[in-house]
Amino acid sequence: MAPAKAAEKDILQAVVSVETTIPQDRRTARFLGTNRQGSGVIIDNEGLVLTIGYLILEAEGAIITGPSGKQSPAKIIAYDHESGFGLLRMRKSLSIKPMRLGNSTKLSIQDQVLIASRVGPQPIIPARVVSRRVFTGGWEYLLENAIFTTPPHSFHSGAALIGKDGKLLGIGSLIVGNAVAPNVRSPGNMFVPVNEIKPVLADLLEHGKRQAAAKPWIGANTIEMRDRVFINRVSKDGPASKAGLGPGDLIVGVNGKTVRSQENFYRTLWADRKAGDVIKLNILPRLTAEPVIKEFSIKSMNRLEWFNKKPTL
């Protein structure tokens, strides 16, 4: 075997397949599906697997498949909404050497990396970092220093972003159309940096969640258009839905402070607040005869408490 191919084989050993089953009555079943498949990375000698959180969210069971095809059922350890990570632990050893965590803060634009997946016809592709910037998602999610790469890997969910030293630098989250810059057409992937999990790993392993106070969650998916933030979906039985908000409502401000972007909205929404606090949103309703801004009082909550109460995440 050629040295390059041998190196690739060694790198791929710690990358495993993650398959989960989600009951149909779970909150996320409609949007994320009841059978989810992606990748994960073994990061310790006891079979701890780091993956992207949406693969395991509300899962009832998980199966890990190693490079040899051997399988192990896995216990779901934690889902972390703030970072987007998920953790599982294999119930039996597959004798796989773990991948060490690198330092994602040192990853710079133009750095060469490898993207490794256990799913799809081309498990490893070379890529380069094209941007490090804030990423916001409509599901009340903000990542401070996301990693953007090109070209895109089609089987990105839970894929490993690997540096030249063979260490893990990120976990695959999304395919994006603007990897280089927000307004530049450039297909690529967004990765969650591994440094996001380091400060909270002990909490996640011991408690299944962060021990710091949770950020307020209102259950309003949003989209940014021309420096305006619109609601495009509300979570059933969530705080925004209970307050009467719905798709098409324009979020003008939070507690009287003007909102001009999705990032600005989240930072204002979360500033000096915790889950359970009452938040006043200034809204231009979708259904109104006159353009009158109204104030809605919303009692926020911890997003984890919104999911169906089952013995899973």
Q: What is the pLDDT of residues 26-83, one digit of tens each?
A: 999 999 999 999 999 999 999 999 999 999 999 988 999 999 899 999 999 999 999 9
For the segment(s) 1-212, the CATH number from 3.40.50.720, 1.10.150.130, 3.40.190.80, 2.40.10.120 is 2.40.10.120
What is the number of alpha carbons within 13 Å of residue 289 lying toward its C-beta?
0
Using the CB atoms, write b or e for 240-261: b if 16+ within 10 Å. Answer: bbbbebbeebbbbbbeeeebee
Confidence of residue 9 (pLDDT cuts 50, 70, 90): low
Enumerate the CATH 2.30.42.10 domain ranges in the chain, comma separated.
220-306
Average pLDDT over the chain, rounded to whole? 93
Q: Which residues of the chain does CATH 2.40.10.120 include? A: 1-212
Whole-number Å distance between alpha carbons of 258 and 228? 10
Beta-carbon contacts of residue 163 (< 8 Å; ≥ 6 apart): 102, 107, 111, 113, 169
Whether residue 2 has pLDDT greater than 50? no
Q: Give the CATH fold of the 220-306 domain.
A: Pdz3 Domain (2.30.42)
User: What is the distance between the alpha carbons of residues 219 and 91, in angstroms, rounded to a whole number?
Assistant: 34
Q: pTM of the full predicted structure? A: 0.93
Buried residues in 127-156 as b, exposed as e (16+ CB within 10 A): bebbbbeebbbbbbbbbeebbbbbbbbebb
| Whether 237 contacts 303, CB under 8 Å | no
C-beta of residue 191 within 8 angstroms of C-beta of residue 161? yes
